[in-house]
């Protein structure tokens, strides 16, 4: 059970780090509303990790790296989808 919780935490951490790096890269002022959506995506990534790593009792460095990249990927993909939907809504 400890390994599974660790993998979930690493997944959430990956999503949050991707969000912070995206904000730093943008050069914009910090916007709590935008960051709160990244926190929600990080929680979602944790749920996804719980499903993927269900029953995992041992982990290798590859497993930890995979968990981190799952979180980062979910955050980046969610951010891109949100941006695309907002552009489509603005042009309609």
**pLDDT band with cut points at 50, 70 and 90 for residue 33:** confident
pLDDT higher than threshold 90 for residue 13:
yes
Opening angle at CA 76, ends 84 and 53, nearest 5: 130
Residues above pLDDT 90, as percent of the chain: 59
pLDDT higher than threshold 80 for residue 61:
yes
Q: Is 73 exposed, middle or buried (0-12, 13-18, 19+ CB in 10 A)?
A: middle
CA 55/CA 72 separation, integer angstroms: 22
User: How many distinct structural domains can be found in the chain?
Assistant: 1
Note down the domain range covering 81: 2-91
Q: Are 87 and 27 in contact (CB under 8 A)?
A: no
**pLDDT band with cut points at 50, 70 and 90 for residue 57:** confident
pLDDT higher than threshold 70 for residue 2:
yes
Report which of residues 92 and 66 the model is more confident about: 66
| pTM (2 d.p.) | 0.86
């Amino acid at each position: 059970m400890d390994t599974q919780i660790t993998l979930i935490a690493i997944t959430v951490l990956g999503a949050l780090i991707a969000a912070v790096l995206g904000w730093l890269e943008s050069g914009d002022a910090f916007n709590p509303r935008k960051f709160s959506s990244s926190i929600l995506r990080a929680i979602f990534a944790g749920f996804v990790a719980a499903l993927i790593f269900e029953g995992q009792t041992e982990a290798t460095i590859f497993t930890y790296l995979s968990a981190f990249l799952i979180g980062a990927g979910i955050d980046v993909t969610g951010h891109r989808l949100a941006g695309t939907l907002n552009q489509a809504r603005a042009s309609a």
